[in-house]
Structure 1
Amino acid sequence: MSCIKEIPTLKGDNYIEWEKKIDMAFILVEVEWVVTTPCPTEPVAPVQETNDVNAAWATRERDFASQRMSYDLEHRKWVTANKKCLAVIKNTIEPAIVGSIPECDTVTEYLERIKSQFTGSSKTYATQLIKQLVTERYSGNGGIREYILRMSHLTSKLKPMDLTLKDEFLIHLVFASLPKEFDTFVVNYNIQPKKWDMERLMAMCVQEEERMKATNGGTINYLKDNKKKNTNANFSSKSKGKGPMLHQPQQNKFTVEKDQCL
């Protein structure tokens, strides 16, 4: 039951995570088969023909009795599992969303209705993940290993949406997001013919970061591009040594970026 408690409430923007937790819960309680297995079909009772001999008819009756018993057991098992799955799903969805989903007899059909309703949300979520992947930048917080693992985790979230990224592409994304202190390291990788996998990438990046730390006394201050200029500092440095400054009336100051029209 603890696995059911870990299922997040479906609110609309977390469909992928909710679906994964639902699948995991069904597997752990061993009812996942009901999602892919249709309801058992009731066997048709035999009808005795006028030309049937007693022995042949008795055999057919025994066979049907065996089929009927097997059907009753399988049908009861299927109905129970289907009922449990529907109850779990409905109790992990916000009431407003549950009310917008038509009632279904099977958990398979109900999951399909939910999936079709949240297809748009999944596309939006995928776009957000891709934007985050291509804009991520390593700043030194947490260490390079944790950073690469976080990038890999973001990539894994795209797999349920059929947007699997190859490890080679992710490796280049990681390299593109590293600060300029890693430039020589990245160039050395690009000129060698052998390609790395993710484990090799993490091992080599950690080794390179440790090497840079040892070279810089145990710490690294990764530089960031800073386009803002400290105008007060520039003005003070220019006026240094020129005697006391006369009081100037304050004026509204603003910075004009390059290629910006006023």
Structure 2
Amino acid sequence: MSIDIPTIDQALMMVKDKVPNLNGDNYKSWREAILIHLGCIDLDYALRKEEPPTPTDTSSQAEIALSERWERSNHLSMMFIKSHITTSIRGSIPECENVKDLIDAIHAQFETSDKALGSILMSRLTSMKFTDYENEGHCCSVEISLDGD
């Protein structure tokens, strides 16, 4: 019995439609899907390991192979991530040299947005006025979600 192991290209095609595009409202679920899928198709190496030194003439084959593996993982991961971000958001994210910096830049962008949204919602909530005097005594609840999902 043999097991067919898909190539990276085949694996990317299989998960392409399973990861939602980042559209501004779905950051947390998008990030989780991106990290899971990069791990499943074995492209998360550049996220897990620091960039190795650039090979020199005196580098061993193992050092060269390690550097090539990291470069390939970094390049394909960045392409995969960028392909799952809507064009309007992609323009607001700074250019990055490696996938760790890209993930951090995206996180910083949406962490700031979440805090700003939370502040706006709290301000609105605390400035609301009770105007329904006819139904006084009934309980009402207000639910505010910052997840965006």
Q: How does 1:94-243 map to 2 (within 5 A)?
A: 94-123=86-115
Question: Which residue in the other structure is 1:61 paired with?
Answer: none
Q: Does 1:7 align with 2:27?
A: no
> How many percent identity over aligned positions?
26
User: How many Å apart are 1:28 and its aligned residue?
Assistant: 1.0
Query: What TM-score do the two structures reach when normalised by structure 1?
Result: 0.38
- Equivalent pair of 2:52/2:66 in contact (CA under 8 Å): yes
Aligned residue type for 2:67: H
Q: Does structure 2 retain, via aligned residues, the 8 Å contact 1:12–1:121?
A: no
Is the Cα–Cα contact under 8 Å of residues 23 and 32 in structure 1 kept in the other structure?
Answer: yes
8 Å CA contact 2:45–2:70 kept in 1: the answer is: no
Q: Is the 8 A contact 1:15 1:122 kept in 2?
A: no
In the TM superposition, residue 42 of structure 1 has moved relative to its aligned partner by 3.3
Give the counterpart letter for 1:109 in structure 2: D
Q: Retained in 1: the 8 A contact 2:38–2:44?
A: yes
Alignment size in residue pairs: 111
Q: What is the TM-score normalised by the length of structure 2?
A: 0.65
The answer on whether the counterparts of 1:3 and 1:28 sit within 8 Å (CA) in structure 2 is no
Instruction: Give unpaired runs (5+ residues) of structure 1.
Output: 46-63, 129-254
Matched, 1:25 2:37: yes
Contact 1:34 1:81 in 2 (8 A): yes
**What is the alpha-carbon distance in structure 2 between the residues aligned to residue 258 and residue 117 of structure 1?**
42
* Distance 1:42-1:257 versus aligned 2 partners, 3 A rule: closer
- Could you tell me whether the CA contact under 8 Å between 1:40 and 1:75 is conserved in 2? yes
Q: What residue number does 2:7 align with?
A: none
2:128 is the counterpart of 1:257: no
More helix by proportion, 1 or 2? 1
2:76: which partner in 1?
A: 84
CA distance in 1, matches of 2:53, 2:136: 73
Unaligned runs of 5+ in 2: 1-12, 122-132, 138-149
CA deviation vs aligned residue, 1:186-229 (integer Å, no higher than 9, x gap)? xxxxxxxxxxxxxxxxxxxxxxxxxxxxxxxxxxxxxxxxxxxx
- Name the larger-Rg structure: 1
Instruction: Give me the CA root mean square deviation.
Output: 2.4
The answer to whether the 8 A contact 2:55-2:67 is kept is no
In structure 2, the residue matched to 1:39 is 51
Distance 2:136 2:35 in 1: 53
AA of the residue aligned to 2:65:
L
